[in-house]
Amino acid sequence: MFNRNYKEKTIESMLFVVSALTVFILFLICLFLFRDGLTLFEDVPFLSFVTGKFWYPTSVNAQFGLLPLFLGSLVVTAGAILFSVPLGVASAIFISELANPKVADFLKPFVEILAGVPSVVYGFFGLVVLVPFIRETFNLATGQTALAGSIMLGIMALPTIISISEDAISSVPGSLKQGSLALGATRWQTIYKVTVPAALSGISAAVMLGMGRAIGETMTVMMVTGNTAVIPSFPGGVLDPVRTMTATIALEMGEVPQGSDHFHALFAVGSVLFIVTFLINLLADAIKKKYRFKVD
Amino acid sequence: MTEAIQNVANPQIEVKDLNLWYGEKQALKNINIRIPKNSVTAFIGPSGCGKSTFIRCLNRMNDLIKSCRIEGEVSIEGKDIYGPGVDVVDLRKQVGMVFQKPNPFPMSIYDNIAYGPRIHGVNKKDIEGVVEHALRSAALWDEISDRIRSPAFSLSGGQQQRLCIARTMAVKPEIILFDEPCSALDPISTAKIEELIMNLKKDYTIVIVTHNMQQAARISDYTAFFLMGELIEFGKTRQIFENPGEKSTEDYITGRFG
């Protein structure tokens, strides 16, 4: 009796240590990121970083303006979401509601494999196939544009959006669908008036997580967006090269002198990125919790 | 049994030689029954006897089950509902169904009731009247008329079930099927639903599956006893309960098994 209690307590505390470790690592990352990021503001005023329109980190009069990078990320991500949400939700509906089970069993693992393709492979595909296609289609000087980034990120966000939306849609109780069908609704009316609205919280969470994935993606965007740190115009800027926050960090970190303003500026950009993705995840979680379906 | 069937003149639902299989397993065997208009007919029998399966044949809800195969004839108002060219949407408008557990949609009370009329293209300005009428018919209006825009989940279980009944009536069916509608409810809610069902039979033909024999005795005009996929006995409720023709009916009713 005593022995068993002792054993369970040991296992319990081991599991506690492991999970506490995860949180502790997250805490360390925050500390490390923010400490170096905040150091920037000893030399550069906070406002001129946040509202600065120019990112000239290596010129004599170095300027560290976040706006072009932030807007670059925003444009690419927004484009990706615009492209992947309708496609992803439609696929999720098809897989969970319309496809014959054999087809669905075949499609699902393939969608999940999409998530496992390394981002550099996506980038490679984008560079070789998509970029020349965009250049020729729109008759541009270069096909490395925000549009190319959006499409690639959209494809990469698809597996997240599809599999989480699919889970949400298929967990809508069958009794609701039957209730709708018994009232003489068609299968399609049932899907768009009952099933999808009932799954909306899960679908929103899926969109948020897809967005988080898109905003944090580095290698692919670096390869296909041209990396020009200018504020993208709207709407024409979609066909211009842009540079995202992630690409900036990846491109410049290798060559920056440690401890310089530039070094700290990159950490500050990283902090912004961290905060944005953290907020998105928090929001996704809140949506999921708040509107969790209350029928058992 | 044959006598009872012939007694029913002018049936609204007529089933001839119905057989049903789930894959290899036969769940209904040679069912013949004639259900009269504006009456309450109860299906009783132990779990797995096929009564729920049978009630779902009457509005073709079994279509949703892939492995399900049906032979025989089910006629409603003289028309075979499994015949060619039958539109299930029209059939289910004509034959409504209330399920075992209340299943309101995750929307407001009002929208729950308006759902059916809306999908069937009822004029926008008429919907409000339809909703009120349905809620009144389901004896729910007085309890909830002041919070008709609040979510349906804010209602109690019994109210939710009456909401589902109102939702079914809003489509204006001729027949309403109840698949154990009180099995998830407390006795007071059950009594309200039973009272409601008895009031409804002047406007609708009611078929109800129930596990509760007292319920069948209280509310039904006709009772059908099912066992192992067969219709053992069908007749006036009084006769079935007081003077059953079959030994197994008597055994079930007196609680010797089931």
Search chain A and give the residue with CA nearest B177: A182
Q: Does B89 sit within 8 Å of A182, measured CB to CB?
A: no
Q: Does A194 sit within 8 Å of B105, measured CB to CB?
A: yes
A197: Cβ contacts below 8 Å, ≥ 6 apart? B106, B107
**In the predicted model, what is the mean pLDDT of chain B?**
92
Chain A residues touching chain B at CB-CB below 8 Å: 173, 175-176, 178-186, 189, 193-194, 197-198, 293-295
Domain boundaries, chain A: 2-42, 46-290
Question: Which of A183, A187, A195 is the best substitution to test chain B (most B C-beta atoms within 10 A)?
Answer: A183
Strands B25-36, B11-22: parallel, antiparallel or unpaired by DSSP?
A: antiparallel
The 8-class DSSP code of residue B64 comes to G
Nearest to A184 among B99, B103, B116 (CB): B116
Tell me what pLDDT residue B254 has: 87
Closest CA to B5 of B234, B225, B250, B241: B234
Tell me what pLDDT residue A3 has: 76
* Average pLDDT score over residue span B15-26: 95
Tell me what pLDDT residue A199 has: 92
Task: In chain A, count H helices and then E strands.
Answer: 14, 2
Nearest to B105 among A176, A182, A184 (CB): A176
Q: Is B181 on the interface with A (CB under 8 A)?
A: no
B254: Cβ contacts below 8 Å, ≥ 6 apart? none
Nearest to A184 among B92, B101, B153 (CB): B92
Search chain B and give the residue with CA nearest A189: B119
Crossing angle of helices B157-169 and B109-119, in 10° steps, is: 20
Contact indicator for B61, A181 with CB cutoff of 8 Å: yes
Task: State how far residue A270 is from chain B, nearest Cα, in angstroms.
Answer: 41
Backbone φ, ψ for residue A218 (5° rounding): -120, -60
The low-confidence residues of chain A, meaning pLDDT below 70, are 1-2, 290-296
* Percentage helix, strand, coil for chain B under 3-state DSSP, each rounded to 5: 40, 25, 30
Q: Taking CB atoms and an 8 Å cutoff, what residues of chain B touch A186? A: 89, 119
Superfamily of domain A46-290: MetI-like (1.10.3720.10)
Confidence of residue B258 (pLDDT cuts 50, 70, 90): low
Nearest to A183 among B64, B106, B115 (CB): B115
Q: Is B103 on the interface with A (CB under 8 A)?
A: yes
Tell me what pLDDT residue B66 has: 87
If you search the block for the tokens 């491109």, which residue do you land on? A251
Domains and CATH numbers, chain B: 2-253 (3.40.50.300)
Radius of gyration of chain A from its Cα atoms, rounded to whole angstroms = 23
Q: Taking CB atoms and an 8 Å cutoff, what residues of chain A touch B103? A: 173, 175-176, 178-179, 295
Q: Taking CB atoms and an 8 Å cutoff, what residues of chain A touch B167? A: 179, 183
Tally of residues, chain B: 258
Q: Taking CB atoms and an 8 Å cutoff, what residues of chain B touch A182? A: 59, 61, 92, 96-97, 99, 168
Q: Does A182 sit within 8 Å of B59, measured CB to CB?
A: yes
Search chain B and give the residue with CA nearest A190: B119
Number of other CB atoms surrounding residue B142 within 10 Å: 9
Q: Looking at chain B from residue 125 to 154, which residues have their Cβ under 8 Å from any Cβ of chain A?
A: 153
Q: Taking CB atoms and an 8 Å cutoff, what residues of chain B touch A198? A: 105-106
Contact indicator for B211, B225 with CB cutoff of 8 Å: no
Distances (CA, A) of A261 to A37, A55, A229: 10, 13, 18
If you search the block for the tokens 């409804």, which residue do you land on? B200
Task: State how far residue B185 is from chain A, nearest Cα, in angstroms.
Answer: 15
Question: Which of B56, B86, B89, B183 is the best substitution to test chain A (most A C-beta atoms within 10 A)?
Answer: B89
Tell me what pLDDT residue B7 has: 55
Q: Does A182 sit within 8 Å of B61, measured CB to CB?
A: yes
Does residue B73 register a pLDDT over 50? Answer: yes
3-state secondary structure of B207: strand
Q: Does B168 sit within 8 Å of A182, measured CB to CB?
A: yes
CA distance between the termini of chain B: 21
Q: Does B89 sit within 8 Å of A185, measured CB to CB?
A: yes
* Alpha-carbon span A46 to A218, nearest angstrom: 25
Q: Is B97 on the interface with A (CB under 8 A)?
A: yes
Instruction: Read off the tokens for A85.
Output: 């949400």
Closest CA to B199 of B115, B121, B137, B117: B137
